[in-house]
Chains A and B, each alone.
Chain A
C-alpha cells in the first residue's frame, strides 16, 4: 500500500525542512520526501495549502483503561487523539491496576494491541501502587517495554526512594517523568495560592509546592545522571530552576500543557470546574514566563495531561470536583491559535515542541519525516476555524477547558504507520 501526499508545506524540524514537498509512503514507512514525486500510489492526497508535519507525540496522557472505562477507554482515547493529530501517546500508570509490574504491563499491552489505533507507549510507576513506599520492578517494567517511569500525581516524597529510582532509571536508560508537587505544601488546595484563593474562598496550592519539588528532583538527577523530565510546568520559579539546570548540563527536559500556556488563574473566577487542574492555573507573570520558556527552549515540549472525568465527578462543587481536563482534540488547534497566530512560536518551532522533541526525549523513532522513518503524519488546514463543543468530542468525557472557544487549525488526515487512521468527514 502506497500513499502519496502532494504539494503540502512540509515541516520537519529534524531535517530542517520547511518547504513544499511531496511525500511517498510505502507500507509503514516513509519512502521519499522530494520536491516532486511522480510515483504510482494507491491513495493520493492533494494537500495544497495544507501543512504536513510528523504526528504529535503526546508525552502525558491518562487513558483510564484498565479500571475506569466509564471515563475513557484506550479505544475512545486513541480515536479522540487521532482527531487531534496525535499519533503517539505516553500512557500514565495511574490505572487500576496500577502499571507497576510485569503482570500489569502485560495486561495493558494486551488491551493496547487489541484496541489502540495508534502508538501507545507506556509509563510505568516508580513505586508500587504509586504509594511512594516501595520501588516497583523498574527493571521488569523496562524489559516489558516501559519507556519512562513516573508516579505522576503522587510525587515521591522520600528523597532516598526517588534517588534509588533514578539510579535504576539511569542504568536502564529510561526517562523519569515528574509531576512536581510537595503535598505537605499544597495540602488540600484547589486553586493558585494567593489573591485568587482568597477571593474565591478556596484553599490554595502554592508555587512553592511545585518548585521546591522540582529543585529536589533536579538535584537528584544531577547526582544520579538520570534523564529527568518535569511535566506540566506551571510557574516562573520552576522554569528558572530548569533553565539554570540546563545551563549547567544536567539532563533535564520539560513540558507544558495547552491550558497552562494560554490560561491564567482568572479563568477560575466563576468556579467552573473545567478550570480546576493540578497544578492550578497560575498568575499572569507565570503565563508570561511559560511563553518565554517556550520561545527560548527551556520548555521542550507541549503535552496534554489529557485527564478525562465523568460529568458526575466534574460538574459538581468546585472543592469536590476532580482535577484535570481532556486535551487530545484541542492540543494542535490551541497551540496554533495561542502560539503561532500570536507570534510566540514559528510553525517549525511548534512542530518541534509537539512532535520532534518529545520523540527525542522518549527515545522513540517518531517525530520526523525522513525516509526510513515510521510514517506517522498529520495533515492540517492551518487557517480553518472551528468551534469546540461537547457534542463534537470523541472522548467519552467532555471536561474541556476550551468549550465554546473558536480555534484555528483543523486536522484533515492523521496517518499512523502508513495507514490513514483518520480523515475528516
Chain B
C-alpha cells in the first residue's frame, strides 16, 4: 500500500482519466483502499462529507452507477438528491447550463452527471463552481468505472504496471473503453483492444494500444480481459442473427478461456448480456470478478467524492482569502 502521498489532489472536477497524471490516479486508488476498509466495518459510515450535498443528475437511465454513487455519498454522510431528467424541467427544454446553475443555486457541493452527449460534463464544469463528477458522457469517458476496474485489478494481481490487459467489445462507442485505456496506459499496463473492424474507432493506436480483430489473440497471454457490453439495443435491425454471430466470433466462452492464462481475470462493467459477449459459465466462473467490481465501485467513488470536495473547499477558501 502506498502510504507516502507526495501529491495533493487539486482538481475541483473529475471529468476523465485523460486529464489526470499517473500520480493523481494512484492517489485515488490509494484513497479508495482506505475507504474500502470502512465498508467492511459494522458501521459503514464516516463523517467526511457531513453537511455536504451531492446531486445525482442523470440524463440517461442508469441503475448501477447511480446507486453506487448514492451509496458512496451516504457512507460519507453527505445528503444525496437524485434528479432524473424524465421528471425534471429538462423535459421542458431547459439547457444544461441553466439546469446546472439552478442546481448550484440550491448550494449543492457536488454534481454527479451522466449524459448522453460527449463533453457534457466538461461543459457543465465550466459553468458551475460546484464539483462535477463525470458518471459517463456519451462515448467519451466513464472515469469512475475505469478506476474501479483498475482498483479491482490491482487488488487481484497486486499491480497494474506491466500487466497485459485486453478490452473486448464495442470500442468505438464505449466510454468505459476510453477511460480504461487512458488509465491503464498511464499506469504502465500493455493494452490491447479487440472488436470487429467497424467497431474500432479511427486512430485508436495513438492512445498507445494494440488492435486486434481476433478474440483468441486478445485472450492469449493476457493477465486480464475487460469484456464490454454489446449495445445491440442501439441497433434494432436484425439484432438477433447479429447477436448470435457476435457470440460465435467474439464471445468469451470457457473453451476460449482454456487457451488463455489459467488465472486470467475476467471483468465486465455490467449489465451483462449473457450469451452475447460472454457465456454464463464465464460470467459466474472462477476467473470472474464482476461482483467484486461492483463492491469496489463504492470505495472508489467514495475516494473521488472525498477528493474533489476537499479540493473544491480549498479552492473556495483561496478565493475568499
Contact = CB atoms under 8 A, between A and B. Distances in A.
B202 A201 contact: no
Interface stretch (B102-110, B111-119, B245-253, B300-308): B111-119
Given A317-B120, A319-B117, A320-B117, A200 B203 contact: no
Interface stretch (A44-52, A191-199, A254-262, A358-366): A191-199
B203 A195 contact: yes
Given A193-B202, A195-B203, A200 B123 contact: no
B122 to A, nearest CB: 5
A132 B175 CA distance: 38
B18 A199 contact: yes
Interface stretch (B3-11, B46-54, B133-141): B133-141
A361 to B, nearest CB: 35
A315 B203 contact: no
Contacts of A198: 172, 201-204, 207
A202 interface: yes
A316 B118 contact: no
Contacts of A194: 202-203
Pick the most buried of A196, A200, A317: most chain B CB atoms within 10 A of its CB: A317
A13 interface: no
Contacts, number: 69
A342 interface: no
Interface string A307-327: 000001001111110000000
A317 B123 contact: yes
A318 B117 contact: yes
Q: How large is the interface on B (under 10, 10 to 19, 20 to 34, 35 or more residues)?
A: 20 to 34
B260 interface: no
Interface string A200-233: 1110100000000000000000000000000000
A271 interface: yes
Main secondary structure of the interface of B (DSSP, over half): mixed
A204 B172 CA distance: 12
B123 A201 contact: no
Interface in B196-226: 201-204, 206-207
B17 to A, nearest CB: 12
A270 interface: yes
Contact of A201 (B95, B138, B203, B206): B138
Contacts of B175: 201
Contact of B202 (A204, A312, A316): A204
A318 B203 contact: no
B122 A201 contact: no
A264 B204 CA distance: 19
A125 to B, nearest CB: 31
B96 interface: yes
Contact of A317 (B117, B172, B201, B207): B117
Contact of B118 (A270, A315, A319): A319
Contacts of B123: 271, 315-318
Pick the most buried of B118, B122, B201, B202: most chain A CB atoms within 10 A of its CB: B118
A317 B96 contact: yes
A39 B294 CA distance: 87
A136 to B, nearest CB: 35
A271 B202 contact: no
A270 B15 CA distance: 11
A279 to B, nearest CB: 17
Contacts of A320: 117
B140 A201 contact: yes
A45 B227 CA distance: 73
B117 A270 contact: no
Contacts of A196: 203
A198 B193 CA distance: 14
A211 B29 CA distance: 47
B178 interface: yes
A195 B139 CA distance: 14
A320 B203 CA distance: 24
Given A199-B18, A200-B118, A201-B141, A316 B206 contact: no
Nearest to A190: B118
A112 B206 CA distance: 51
Contacts of B206: 195
B95 A271 contact: no
A404 to B, nearest CB: 13
B215 to A, nearest CB: 21
Contacts of A316: 95-97, 123
A286 to B, nearest CB: 15
Interface of B: 18, 95-97, 115, 117-120, 122-123, 137-141, 172, 175, 178, 201-204, 206-207
Interface of A: 193-202, 204, 270-271, 312, 315-320
Q: Which 5 pairs, one residue from A and one from B, show the smallest C-beta to C-beta distance?
A: A271-B119, A195-B203, A201-B139, A201-B140, A201-B118
12 contacts: A195-B202, A198-B203, A201-B137, A201-B175, A201-B178, A202-B140, A315-B95, A317-B119, A318-B117, A318-B120, A318-B123, A319-B117
Given A198-B201, A316-B95, 7 more contacts: A193-B202, A194-B202, A195-B207, A198-B203, A198-B207, A201-B140, A315-B123
